[in-house]
Each structure stands twice: as structure tokens, then as C-alpha cells.
């Protein structure tokens, strides 16, 4: 499955999958890597191979990095959320629409979903949710999660430094939030060599979890 760029006056999408798919997934990157990173490509192309339409986009700071080669920190939360809204406004209509994101991109997606006046969506998919900043487990980013009304899938590596299994399970998250664990995975789902599973295994499992989540939706 190959990716093809599409253009919009404000948002540049990277599109995968059939344009007439019943499901559209708008997918945002994390804080440190762009929309065409290897992780993002595997997820987008895997979902496209399952018959879904996937549109990736970049936040403004990452687009500037691509244009100038100069690294910069992520934009403020309000600007990130505005970018998410612009992407949804400019994505073509679909019968079913999900929002998804890696790490920071997923956290912004949950903030949109928690907004009672936010966009209409059928579900949220988080790829490695940053429950807290690295090394700061007491400073959680979970207060808004209880306000989410739509089905929400959080895919998390068991060793994720921003929320490992023991820490996250102690939070007692409830439906419509759903957790799926990737064995021995870190923040990008990569396990240790002795784990008995590979990074490819965990990515394939993540894609299967997402496909099942959409089918149940």
C-alpha cells in the first residue's frame, strides 16, 4: 500500500486507503517524529490494508521543521487543538469518522473528544497515551478522560515510561475507555529482545486491536 499526498489550502494530508472506505481515520503524530515516520507509516498503511481511509497531518511546528530543518518544541495546546479542528473541518465527510494519534497527538484527540462542543466523531484511538511526563508519574494527564462519551481505545506498551501497566491499571479507567496492552512494549511498542515477541508482532497486534475496536463500534 503506497501513500499519496493530497493538498488543502490550510492542511496538507498524507492519504492511505480507498477514498470510498466506510471508515475515515484522521491520524496525528507525536511530539518528536513527523507524520511519515516509520511508526506512523506502519500504522497508516496497515489500517489502509484493512480497508480504511487514513489521513495523516502535521501540526504547524512539525511542518515548519520539515520546511526549514530546524527543530522546535511543540506548539501550545490551544494551537495544537486548533490544528486538529482544522484537519477535521477539511477532511472529506465519511459515514464513520475516528480520530487517532501517537502520544501527544492522541492526547490532543482525547481533549477534543472530551469537549462537549467538540466535533462529531465515532471514536478515539490513542497509540501510546502519555499518562504523565517521563519521570513524573504523579503529574498525570487524565482529568479530562472521564468526560469522554465516545468509545476510546488506548493502546499501551506494558513498559511505557509515560504510563506502564501497573501505573495505568491503578487509575481504574472505566468505559467507554478501553485499554489494550502490547507485551513488554515501550512507548513505541518495542519489546526487549528476551520478551518472546518482536516489535513487528506488537505493531501487528496493535493494528488488530484497532480493527476490532472499529468493528465493534
Please tell me whether residue 162 adopts helix, strand or coil conformation: coil
Alpha helices (H) along 33-103: 38-49, 60-68, 77-90
As a whole number of angstroms, the distance between CA 212 and CA 55 comes to 19
Please tell me whether residue 76 adopts helix, strand or coil conformation: coil
CB atoms within 10 A of CB 136: 9
Summarised one tens digit per residue, pLDDT across range 31-80 is: 999 999 999 999 999 999 999 999 999 999 999 999 999 999 999 999 99
Nearest to 131 by CA among 57, 180, 187, 75: 187
Alpha-carbon distances of 60 from 20, 49, 64, 108, rounded to whole Å: 28, 28, 6, 14
Summarised one tens digit per residue, pLDDT across range 83-111 is: 999 999 999 999 999 999 999 999 999 99
Nearest to 125 by CA among 177, 59, 203: 177
Longest dimension (CA), the chain: 48
Which is more confident, 7 or 186?
186
Predicted pLDDT of residue 5:
45
As a whole number of angstroms, the distance between CA 205 and CA 207 comes to 5
pLDDT(3) > 70: no
**What's the mean pLDDT in 189-193?**
97
For residue 217, name the pLDDT band (cuts at 50, 70, 90). confident
Predicted pLDDT of residue 10:
79
**What's the mean pLDDT in 144-170?**
97
For residue 8, name the pLDDT band (cuts at 50, 70, 90). very low
pLDDT(157) > 90: yes
As a whole number of angstroms, the distance between CA 137 and CA 59 comes to 26
pLDDT(120) > 80: yes
**What's the mean pLDDT in 119-148?**
95
Nearest to 119 by CA among 145, 149, 141, 146: 149
Q: Taking a C-beta distance cutoff of 8 angstroms, is the pair 106, 126 a contact?
A: yes
Predicted pLDDT of residue 35:
98
As a whole number of angstroms, the distance between CA 217 and CA 39 comes to 25
In CATH, what class is 4-216? alpha beta
Q: Taking a C-beta distance cutoff of 8 angstroms, is the pair 183, 123 a contact?
A: no
Is pTM, for the whole model, over 0.85? yes
Alpha-carbon distances of 45 from 4, 17, 83, 152, 177, rounded to whole Å: 11, 7, 23, 21, 25
Q: Which has the minimum average pLDDT: 1-10, 22-31, 69-78, 153-162?
A: 1-10
For residue 4, name the pLDDT band (cuts at 50, 70, 90). very low
Predicted pLDDT of residue 7:
42
Domain boundaries, the chain: 4-216
Amino acid at each position: 500500500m503506497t501513500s499519496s499526498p493530497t493538498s488543502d489550502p490550510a492542511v496538507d494530508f498524507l492519504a492511505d486507503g480507498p477514498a470510498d472506505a466506510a471508515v475515515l481515520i484522521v491520524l496525528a503524530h507525536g511530539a518528536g517524529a513527523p507524520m511519515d515516520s516509520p511508526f506512523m507509516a506502519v500504522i497508516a498503511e496497515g489500517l489502509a490494508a484493512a480497508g480504511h481511509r487514513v489521513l495523516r497531518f502535521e501540526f504547524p511546528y512539525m511542518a515548519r521543521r520539515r520546511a526549514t530543518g530546524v527543530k522546535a518544541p511543540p506548539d501550545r495546546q490551544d494551537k495544537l487543538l486548533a490544528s486538529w479542528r482544522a484537519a477535521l473541518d477539511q477532511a472529506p465527510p465519511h459515514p464513520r469518522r475516528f480520530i487517532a494519534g501517537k502520544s501527544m497527538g492522541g492526547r490532543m484527540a482525547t481533549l477534543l473528544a472530551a469537549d462537549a462542543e467538540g466535533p462529531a466523531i465515532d471514536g478515539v484511538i490513542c497509540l501510546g497515551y502519555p499518562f504523565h511526563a517521563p519521570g513524573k508519574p504523579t503529574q498525570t494527564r487524565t482529568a479530562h478522560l472521564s468526560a469522554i462519551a465516545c468509545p476510546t481505545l488506548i493502546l499501551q506498551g506494558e513498559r511505557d515510561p509515560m504510563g506502564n501497566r501497573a501505573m495505568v491499571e491503578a487509575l481504574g479507567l472505566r468505559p467507554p475507555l478501553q485499554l489494550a496492552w502490547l507485551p513488554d512494549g515501550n512507548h513505541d511498542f518495542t519489546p526487549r529482545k528476551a520478551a518472546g515477541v518482536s516489535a513487528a508482532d506488537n505493531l501487528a497486534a496493535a493494528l488488530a486491536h484497532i480493527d476490532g475496536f472499529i468493528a465493534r463500534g
